[in-house]
């Protein structure tokens, strides 16, 4: 969708972007983040040609943007900045409809979209359509700014620290609105911020920059769990995993090789297998590892020793996928008062087992890493 190819930017003798190459896939929300002066806003403004690279090329859908008329290019790219950039002498309706009208879109379709966009950003069209920017709060103005960026019907939205001047409650609300809009409308969004918590909350991928270079480009989860360098670890904060427990997935906290039996085993055999492996539960699977049920020592010790596991196992077993996070896992355990939670893949094949002990072990490991780091 957007490709940076060997981009360099120099101001006099100072290099602010150094041989930068990156490919951003369509429909993703990518956050540029890094220390002040790292080049994140410069890169953003290059996409709509507000800033020109000293060398290198940028492609949008395979087209070299240097060969596209800049006015035409900008009309097809949404742009949101910190102070909204709304025209004060125009009503909210006029602000939202300006670019679509300049592009010659159907008037009826424009009006319909204006209503839809205001609803999407949580503003009642009847109440706000004919107001002027000065009659709105800062948070409401920023919502209109986001709506206007989406009004261009373009596939690309550029956002330069749009929420940084807002109070925490309004900011959190707008982050949620943006996340939902992006998923619903499937736009490609490049978002500049200096706030790592904001990046984690909204990003599909994070591009962490320093001195015009990419230090790490990855998903929020991978950056949290596997920082590429000491600087990245320092920048994101050593306690970040603890502050964001949702990044710990079931695959990170499960026992990878849980003890299992087939349903054709009897109770006596199952108890002996538990003793041998020093466990008090067994997963029941077929030969292809498809999860069938669960037996615990507490539930089978009073059963006839010759009874088959097939007849005494618990079949209505709650399970989670490898991608479910720690918060979801704990919620299921607490709601249903269970201490065992099988982990399965998309084909319902058993891949692991989560117990309260395995959770504590994973968290203890995180704490140990933290103590070693300090």
Instruction: Decide if pLDDT at 374 tops 80.
Output: no
Average pLDDT of the segment spanning 343-351: 92
Show the domain range for 297. Answer: 251-362
Per the domain annotation, does 373 fall within a domain? no
Predicted pLDDT of residue 240: 57
Is the pLDDT higher at 335 or at 82?
335
Average pLDDT of the segment spanning 247-253: 82
Do 237 and 274 have their domain in common?
A: no
Do 128 and 216 have their domain in common?
A: yes
- Report how many domains make up the chain: 2
Per the domain annotation, does 372 fall within a domain? no
Instruction: Decide if pLDDT at 233 tops 60.
Output: yes
Do 187 and 263 have their domain in common?
A: no
Do 222 and 305 have their domain in common?
A: no
**Percent of the chain beyond pLDDT 70?**
94
Average pLDDT of the segment spanning 237-263: 77
Instruction: Decide if pLDDT at 368 tops 70.
Output: no
Instruction: Decide if pLDDT at 371 tops 50.
Output: no
- Residues 53, 7: contact at Cβ < 8 Å? yes
Of 222, 247, 272, which marks where a domain is finished? 247
Do 26 and 120 have their domain in common?
A: yes
Predicted pLDDT of residue 241: 56
pTM above 0.75, yes or no: no
Instruction: Decide if pLDDT at 373 tops 50.
Output: no
Do 240 and 301 have their domain in common?
A: no
Q: What is the pLDDT of residues 287-314, one digit of tens each?
A: 899 999 999 888 888 888 999 999 999 9
Do 9 and 158 have their domain in common?
A: yes
Per the domain annotation, does 23 fall within a domain? yes
Of 197, 223, 247, which marks where a domain is finished? 247
CATH code for the domain of 335: 3.10.580.10
Predicted pLDDT of residue 215: 94
Do 137 and 267 have their domain in common?
A: no
Q: What is the pLDDT of residues 117-143, one digit of tens each?
A: 898 888 899 999 999 999 998 888 888
Task: Give me the residue label for tokens 């379709």.
Answer: 109
Q: What is the pLDDT of residues 210-224, one digit of tens each?
A: 998 999 999 887 887
Do 288 and 154 have their domain in common?
A: no
Kind of pairing, strands 156-160 and 77-81? parallel
Q: What is the pLDDT of residues 40-65, one digit of tens each?
A: 999 999 999 999 999 999 999 999 99
Per the domain annotation, does 367 fall within a domain? no
Backbone angles phi, psi at 283, to 5 degrees: -80, 140
Of 247, 277, 297, which marks where a domain is finished? 247
Do 326 and 342 have their domain in common?
A: yes
Q: What is the pLDDT of residues 167-200, one digit of tens each?
A: 888 788 888 888 888 888 889 999 999 888 888 8
Instruction: Decide if pLDDT at 244 tops 70.
Output: no
């Amino acid at each position: 969708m957007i490709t940076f190819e060997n981009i360099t930017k120099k101001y006099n003798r100072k290099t602010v972007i150094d041989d930068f190459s990156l490919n951003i896939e369509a429909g993703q929300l990518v956050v540029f983040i890094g220390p002040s002066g790292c080049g994140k806003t410069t890169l953003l403004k290059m996409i709509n040609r507000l800033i020109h690279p000293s060398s290198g090329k940028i492609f949008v859908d395979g087209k070299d943007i240097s060969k596209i008329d800049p006015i035409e290019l900008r009309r097809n790219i949404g742009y949101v900045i910190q102070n909204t950039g709304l025209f004060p002498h125009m009503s909210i309706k006029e602000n939202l409809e300006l670019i679509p009208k300049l592009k010659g879109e159907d008037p009826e379709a424009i009006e319909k979209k204006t209503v839809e966009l205001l609803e999407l950003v949580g503003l009642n069209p009847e109440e706000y359509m004919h107001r002027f920017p000065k009659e709105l709060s800062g948070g409401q103005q920023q919502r209109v700014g986001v709506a206007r960026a989406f009004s261009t019907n373009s596939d690309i939205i550029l956002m330069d620290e749009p929420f940084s001047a807002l109070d925490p409650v309004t900011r959190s609300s707008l982050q949620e609105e943006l996340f939902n809009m992006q998923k619903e409308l499937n736009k490609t969004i490049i978002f500049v911020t200096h706030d790592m918590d904001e990046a984690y909350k909204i990003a599909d991928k994070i591009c962490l920059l320093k001195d015009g270079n990419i230090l790490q480009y990855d998903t929020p989860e991978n950056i949290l769990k596997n920082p590429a360098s000491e600087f990245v670890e320092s920048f994101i904060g050593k306690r970040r995993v603890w502050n964001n427990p949702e990044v710990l997935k079931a695959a990170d906290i499960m026992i990878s090789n849980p003890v299992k039996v087939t349903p054709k085993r009897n109770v006596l055999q199952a108890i002996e297998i538990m003793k041998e492996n020093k466990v008090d539960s067994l997963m029941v699977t077929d030969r292809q590892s498809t999860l069938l049920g669960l037996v615990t020592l507490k539930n089978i010790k009073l059963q006839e020793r010759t009874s088959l596991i097939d007849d005494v196992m618990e079949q209505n077993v709650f399970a989670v996928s490898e991608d479910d996070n720690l918060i979801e896992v704990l919620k299921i355990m607490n709601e249903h008062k269970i201490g065992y939670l099988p982990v399965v893949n998309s084909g319902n094949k058993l891949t692991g087992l989560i117990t309260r002990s395995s959770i504590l072990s994973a968290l203890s490991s995180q704490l140990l890493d933290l103590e070693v780091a300090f």
